[in-house]
Structure 1
Amino acid sequence: MVDKKRNDEVDPTDDVPTDPVVEDSSVDDDTIDDEALADDFIDVGDADEVPEELREDRPDPAAVPKTGLVSEFHDLSASQAAYLVAHRETSSVSRSPLFYVTSLLLGVAVIAAMIIGFQQAGAGPGEGEGSDTLAIVGVPQEQVDAFSQQLGLPAVAVEDQAAGEALLRSGEAGAVYVLDPTGMQPASLLALNRDPEAILDKLNQPVPVDYLEQPAVAPVLGDPVAWGLGIVVALAGLTLGAALYQNLRTEKRNRLAEVIASTIPARSSAWGRVYGLSLLSLTFTLIAAGVLLVGLSIGQQTTIAMALLPVLGWFALIALMTVFIILSAHLWVATSASRRVRRIGYAAVVLLTVAGVLAPLVLRTQETVMLWLSYTPFTAPVAMPMRYLAGQAEWWEGLASAGASAVVGVIVFWLASAAYQRTLLRGAGRSGRKAKAGVAAKSGSTAKNDSTAKSDSTSKRSPAKSKA
């Protein structure tokens, strides 16, 4: 063999290594010392030695708050997803100018209702004020006549307190003047369910008043209060319902609904919208109740304020259920694919809300009608407080009315959420009906067959023309 570079002859055995590698048979792979390899590896279990870029920052599942704000670490539950949607809806609505304007109008309306009520109460005794006759217990008629001439108001003598209570319930007397037989205790005044203002003004000294029934509010003050409660329900339901409707249409127009549906279940999204705005409606109730109670306290009408407290409590509960129904109806209407159906449905919801507020105010003199209206949704938040103001309802009737409204609200929300889920996930054509691709495919195949037949007929005619 000749080396071409040096033109020298090369021995073929030169490439063979003279010192071959000799393996140490004494070393076994299975007996390698682990301590010898420990220096060549990094313990990834020690977080201090792992680089910052390679660390995994995962919270302890037991320490995760139940708010859904850590959704990037784990899947959301139904309640957490609903909370996220509710927080988003309430934040956007509460920061809108419409919310502030509505709150301001509500406060002004309550103040106007109080002014009208005070003016009507100061104009003179009206309907339901009761008689200004004073029944005196245990005093001869001669002394009663002298007492009547001295005070300048009519007075009658009764044998005992039971006879005086009978006169109170029949309306023949406005109050019963009860004297202590021993003379050790001061005299007291017994009234039916409100302070006898005409009699108290004639007495020379303040007398404590006891009531036979739960204190009620006079009609001259109760009617403006009822109008104020109706305004609260109408403004809360229509304002928040309009905001819910507008948000849904905006998300549908901007394709945000699909983005939300990809991360949050449709039913949780619907529940979060409705219950979040329902709780926000309590803000209007608190504003109205606060302005009313403060105004009555400033006007030194603490008795009326105390009588209104249970009425306002039942109103808040029933109004919350009614607003839930109104918002569920707005959700149902907003999911329709037809613009005409949406317009008709929205107008129907507004009409039901306004009619439910006005019906008890117009029919307040019909006791039987008011009984039925107090258990009917849309009319219950105004009718039931009016019955409490008049002292015609038992304590459990408010709970029954709220329960009836809650049942109707659950049914309406179930229908609305089903429509929302069907429209959002399955896709819907006009009027919410499922789009059918079979018609288009059939028409396409028919057109294709027609074109094929036409081309075949043309090809058959062409040879005939060529022969001609």
Structure 2
Amino acid sequence: MSAPASTPAAPTELQSVWLVAEREIGSKLRSKVFVISSAILILAALASVLWGGFAAASAGDGVAVAVTSQTEAATRGVDGLDVTVADSVDDATALVRDGTVEAALVPDDSTSFGYRVLADDSAPTEVVELLSQTPPVELLDPAGATDGLLRYFVALGFGIVFLMAASTFGSTIASSVVEEKQTRIVEILISAIPVRALLAGKVVGNTVLAMAQIVALAAVASVGLSVTGQTEVLTGLGAPLVWFGVFFFFGFVLLAALFAAAGAMVSRQEDIGATTSPLTILIMAPYFLVIFFNDNPVVLSVMSYVPFSAPVAMPLRLYLGQAQWWEPLISLAVLVATCAGAIWVGARIYRNSLLRMGARVKLAEALRG
């Protein structure tokens, strides 16, 4: 008499989480829409970096400098300079301050050159190299601020990446939960694995994909900046990019748990907007605030400690040199604590709403269970 067939052991909770994560990752990678949209995003990022670099390299044939009648002779016969003759030293200084010229040569009888170079926030290396001799350099604003246009594009880049990744994957998570409820697949799934493992697997799978996109975009930006010779920009972006990845990870996990909970509260795709719209606003707010207030240190400081905007504001402040070394650590601690709370709330709503069919589950009911 043959022995009865042994029943396969049920997967552990960790195995269940990974099985769901694999399912989420596999379904996205098999989706042509996801693959094509990701490729377009990466190519667009590369094109924008290359275009910006080549445009900066080809902007103007010479370096703009201002001179006075006493110092004009020092620039005669020097190629690579776009010379503007100012009426006085004050006028030349004003041209430097308003950004019309990169530097100004003003009289200075105390030096052997007979003049000195005025610059705004950094020594004009290119100007000094073009001159036959190296004059003394005086900075008008030694503390200096990052170039306004570059600051705007860095803020725009951080904001767009966070907005697109969080909104795309967040809405995908919510739609996936609703689809499983509509098709009753969720009833089969939770009969085999715990509800918390199902939620964790969805969050883990989409987080892996989102972080892969972030790494790819960072690599593309680094290659583009290197190819176009923007080494100074690349050096300045190094640490802020790493911090952006860390902040994005916890910020995305926070939002992913809430999006999954929002999806569990409805039973039809048509109703999903009612529960996800508040989360969409929380994602869009940092993008617009950082764009509008990228030159306002007070607003950026406040935003860098608000969990939903910290992934964008704090890396930007680090790039601008406005944050002390300890500030990102405190901001990250606040974000991690908020992330833990959001996971707890999201898991409770998800568990209490997942099998509720029909009308939308009210938030108070989902929290009470």
Q: Same fold (TM over 0.5)?
A: yes
Q: Which residue of 1 aligns with 2:305?
A: 375
Q: Which residue of 1 aligns with 2:88?
A: none
Does structure 2 conserve the Cα–Cα contact (< 8 Å) formed by 1:335 and 1:423? yes
Task: Write out aligned runs for 1:236-385 (5 A).
Answer: 236-337=165-266, 342-385=272-315
The structure that has the greater radius of gyration is: 1
1:156-195: CA deviations, max 9, x gaps? 8xxxxxxxxxxxxxx76743xxxxxxxxxxxxxxxxxxxx
Q: Which residue of 2 aligns with 1:80?
A: 15
Using a 3 Å threshold, how does the CA distance of structure 1 residues 400 and 243 change in structure 2: closer, same or farther? same
2:36 maps to 1:107: no
Q: Which residue of 2 aligns with 1:164?
A: none
Shift of 1:317: 0.7
Q: Which residue of 2 aligns with 1:91?
A: 26
Match of 1:422 among 336, 352, 359: 352
Using a 3 Å threshold, how does the CA distance of structure 1 residues 131 and 255 change in structure 2: closer, same or farther? same
What is the DSSP-based 3-state SS (H/G/I as helix, E as strand, rest coil) of the residue aligned with 1:430? coil
Q: Distance in 2 between matches of 1:301 and 1:118?
A: 10
What is the DSSP-based 3-state SS (H/G/I as helix, E as strand, rest coil) of the residue aligned with 1:155? strand
Pairwise CA RMSD = 3.5
Shift of 1:222: 3.2
Q: Distance in 1 between matches of 2:324 and 2:28?
A: 37
Using a 3 Å threshold, how does the CA distance of structure 1 residues 382 and 119 change in structure 2: closer, same or farther? farther
Using a 3 Å threshold, how does the CA distance of structure 1 residues 200 and 385 change in structure 2: closer, same or farther? farther
* Matched residue type, 1:278: T
Using a 3 Å threshold, how does the CA distance of structure 1 residues 375 and 244 change in structure 2: closer, same or farther? same
Q: Distance in 2 between matches of 1:173 and 1:215?
A: 4
Q: Which residue of 2 aligns with 1:64?
A: none
Whose relative contact order is higher, 1 or 2, with alpha carbons under 8 Å and at least 6 apart?
2
Q: Distance in 2 between matches of 1:174 and 1:411?
A: 45
Match of 2:103 among 114, 132, 146: 132
Match of 1:155 among 105, 117, 132: 117
Q: Distance in 2 between matches of 1:118 and 1:221?
A: 14
Q: Distance in 2 between matches of 1:415 and 1:349?
A: 14
* Matched residue type, 1:252: K
Does structure 2 conserve the Cα–Cα contact (< 8 Å) formed by 1:93 and 1:99? yes
Q: TM-score, normalised by structure 1?
A: 0.60
What is the DSSP-based 3-state SS (H/G/I as helix, E as strand, rest coil) of the residue aligned with 1:432? coil
Q: Distance in 1 between matches of 2:210 and 2:120?
A: 44
What is the DSSP-based 3-state SS (H/G/I as helix, E as strand, rest coil) of the residue aligned with 2:229? coil
Shift of 1:97: 2.1
What is the DSSP-based 3-state SS (H/G/I as helix, E as strand, rest coil) of the residue aligned with 2:326? helix
Task: Write out aligned runs for 1:129-208 (5 A).
Answer: 132=103, 141-145=110-114, 148=115, 154-155=116-117, 174-175=122-123, 196-202=124-130
Q: Which residue of 2 aligns with 1:235?
A: 164
**Residues matched between the structures, number:** 318
What is the DSSP-based 3-state SS (H/G/I as helix, E as strand, rest coil) of the residue aligned with 1:143? coil
Q: Which residue of 2 aligns with 1:225?
A: 154
Q: Distance in 2 between matches of 1:216 and 1:301?
A: 18
Shift of 1:119: 3.2
Q: Distance in 1 between matches of 2:152 and 2:54?
A: 12
Shift of 1:310: 0.6
* Matched residue type, 1:155: V
1:96-132: CA deviations, max 9, x gaps? 1232233223223323442246536846789898973
Unaligned 5+ residue runs, structure 1? 1-50, 58-71, 149-153, 157-170, 176-195, 207-212, 434-468
Does structure 2 conserve the Cα–Cα contact (< 8 Å) formed by 1:117 and 1:224? no
Q: Distance in 2 between matches of 1:87 and 1:264?
A: 14
Q: Which residue of 2 aligns with 1:397?
A: 327
* Matched residue type, 1:199: V
Shift of 1:94: 2.6
Shift of 1:203: 5.1
Percent identity for Structure 1 against Structure 2: 27
Using a 3 Å threshold, how does the CA distance of structure 1 residues 173 and 142 change in structure 2: closer, same or farther? farther
Does structure 2 conserve the Cα–Cα contact (< 8 Å) formed by 1:113 and 1:228? no
Q: TM-score, normalised by structure 2?
A: 0.74
Does structure 2 conserve the Cα–Cα contact (< 8 Å) formed by 1:244 and 1:273? yes
